[in-house]
Amino acid sequence: MHIGGEGSIEQLTTGFQKALDKVKEIRTANPGPVHSFGNGGIGQPSSITAKTIEDILGVKGQSKDGMFKVVIGRKTKMACGCEVGKDMGINTWAAFAGRDDKAIVDGDFVVHEDELQAVLKSLRKGGINVVAVHSHMTQENPRLLFIHYWGTGSIADLATTLKSALNTQKF
């Protein structure tokens, strides 16, 4: 007997059992929940060099207490026909903390639906972790999704990865 032309019940059962066995193997080795991405901490206090990030991203930002944040706006229209943008949260942002050689970046990417996969791939290729993908609004046009992300590394590497992801978008 075949199901959907994809193989016999025995083949499907065997494949399913292999997947369950792999889950059991992983859970046995690591029974508790993971509380971090395993990249270690950052030095305190923060002392991020803003100019390095601004030069790579091509965007001015704000520094406070040794940390640095950039915000890049986009625009969309709501169901009422009103245009909303950066000041209403239609933005990509990145906050950096730590030191230039060992930092964290945390933020949000705003993407059109057709940009989602390219941005996700670019972030992951650069070692930045994707935390969530979701929508903040309804009935906006064009449709926007938000990607929450987090990563560690040098500020130059992190900013370069963000720039690569930004370059996949159509502004």
pLDDT digits (tens, 9 = 90+) for 7-51: 677 777 787 788 888 878 877 887 777 666 555 566 678 899 999
- Higher-confidence residue of 165 and 88: namely 165
Query: Do 26 and 88 touch, CB atoms closer than 8 A?
Result: no
- The CA radius of gyration of the chain, in Å to the nearest whole number, is 21
How does DSSP assign the chain, residue by residue? -BSTTS-BHHHHHHHHHHHHHHHHHHHHH--SPP-S-S-----SS-B--HHHHHHHHT--EEEETTEEEEEEE--EE-TTS-EE-GGGT-EEEEEEEEBSSSEEEEEEEEEEGGGHHHHHHHHHHTTPEEEEEE-S-SS-BS-EEEEEEEEEE-HHHHHHHHHHHHTTS--
The predicted model gives 141-159 an average pLDDT of 94
Nearest of 105, 75, 104, 80 to residue 90 by alpha carbon: 75
pLDDT digits (tens, 9 = 90+) for 76-86: 888 888 888 88
pLDDT digits (tens, 9 = 90+) for 71-107: 999 888 888 888 888 888 888 999 999 999 999 999 9
Residue tagged 């640095």 (tokens): 68
What are the tokens at 2? 């075949």
pLDDT for 40: 58
Is the predicted pLDDT of residue 52 greater than 60, yes or no? yes
pLDDT for 30: 77
Q: Is the dihedral of CA 14, 20, 23, 25 positive or negative?
A: negative
Q: Tell me the pLDDT band of 58, cut-offs 50, 70 and 90.
A: very high
Nearest of 38, 148, 159 to residue 96 by alpha carbon: 159
The predicted model gives 95-123 an average pLDDT of 95
pLDDT for 37: 59
